[in-house]
Amino acid sequence: MNNTLTMLAKVTLIGLTLSGSTALAVDWTERTDVSGFFTTRYSLTDEAAYFHGDRDSGINDKGSFQGTKLGLTIRSQINDDLSVAMLLMSSASENDYNTQIDWAFASYTLSEAFTLRAGKIKFPVGLVNEYVDVGVTYPWISAPLLLYSNEPNGAQATREAYTGASLLWTEEMGDWTLGSDLFFGQVDLEGMVVKGLLGLTVRANWDDTVELQASAYEGEMNTDPAGMPMMAMMNEKTHGARLVGIKVDWHNIVAYAEAAQVTMDVTMMGTKIGDSDVWYATLGYRIGRFLPHFTRQEWDRDNGANHSLSTLGLAYRVTDSVVIKAEQSRIGTNNFATQAGLFNIAPSDGSTNLTSIAVDIIF
């Protein structure tokens, strides 16, 4: 966090020099926008085993407010080409609502088509990952957890953010908007740093009706070689992923589908224990302010861990800024405690029911 704040301070000083400190001080408020979002969620399963978290943050039969959060986005235009943006986040699953900087970066416009970004940047992999915390923007209570989870025992396909640099390209071609994001840096995780991260995301959007996306990235995992045996095995091993996705919003039909293949160069007894495949598909239909939808998710890891998740949901748009949601899910997994995936232990009969409600607000 301190390094990020230091970087922002330096970028701000550059902007002051470029545009004139006196003029900037006068119209600073006019150049700065503040927006935010708020989500409150409550989830309950019918099993004592914690799902998607530990004793402090996971969901079990005693209920959990996991996913309740408040975020404030601050964007400042230093001059015509240079801007700074950051997200302050307070979440129920992190440090008892202590506020932290989720991402913070500077953007410099090189031309009409190219933009350079540097700092702590939201990971540009996955259809909704760059705005995954803003629940109003998608139909689910949580973006499909088998793909978008950052849990150590999850798919490991997407990440929260990376520290580094990014070159964005955007081009309008008739009804199509084409774009790409070439990114480089490192990802800081608990007990691990993925260094030398290099990735590319390409996108195509047709008339805000069909969005296509494909991503690929690779980096080297760095852990303490003298640490836990499993973590030590990952030291200086390659971690990579390939993802493809499509989103359709046509008339009243809303559909999403994504698939990812994750590879880790970690072998135990001849098995690539970190390699996995995950996919999900969502189909919904708007009826006035209501959006009923169904989602199927599946995840399989080469070490035998697996999950299936079927969800029937309903989103009710109160206004453009407020959405109320309810979902009923069935989560299945194998019945081996050491291969429980997103459960801290496997459910007694290999499956559990998950009931969730939420309110999402933007302001």
Spell out the per-residue pLDDT of the chain, length 363, in tens.
444 444 444 444 444 444 444 554 557 778 899 999 999 999 999 988 888 888 778 899 999 999 999 999 999 999 999 999 999 999 876 556 778 899 999 999 999 999 999 999 999 999 999 999 999 999 999 999 999 988 878 888 999 999 999 999 999 999 999 999 999 999 998 888 999 999 999 999 999 999 999 999 999 999 887 777 777 788 888 999 999 999 999 999 999 999 999 998 887 777 777 889 999 999 999 999 999 999 999 999 887 788 899 999 999 999 999 999 999 999 998 756 555 778 877 787 788 999 999 999 999
Rounded distance between C-alpha atoms, residue 43 and residue 355, angstroms: 6
Reported as type and span, the H/E element at residue 10 is helix 2-19
Cβ proximity of 326 and 313 under 8 Å: yes
Expressed in angstroms, the distance from the first to the final Cα of the chain is 25
pLDDT of residue 335: 59
pLDDT of residue 91: 87
Look at residue 70 and tell me if it is in a domain: no
Domains of the chain: total: 1
Look at residue 83 and tell me if it is in a domain: no
Instruction: Sort 198 into a burial class: Cβ within 10 Å, 0-12 / 13-18 / 19+.
Output: middle
The pTM for the full model equals 0.86
Look at residue 53 and tell me if it is in a domain: no
Look at residue 81 and tell me if it is in a domain: no
pLDDT of residue 96: 65
Look at residue 287 and tell me if it is in a domain: yes
Look at residue 82 and tell me if it is in a domain: no
Look at residue 125 and tell me if it is in a domain: yes
Look at residue 88 and tell me if it is in a domain: no
Query: Where residue 156 sits, what CATH number does that domain have?
Result: 2.40.160.10
pLDDT of residue 338: 55
Which structural domain, as residue segments, surrounds residue 270? 39-48+103-362
Q: CA angle, corner 144, sides to 48 and 123, nearest 5?
A: 120
Cβ proximity of 219 and 195 under 8 Å: yes
CA neighbor of 299 nearest in space, from 48, 52, 50: 52
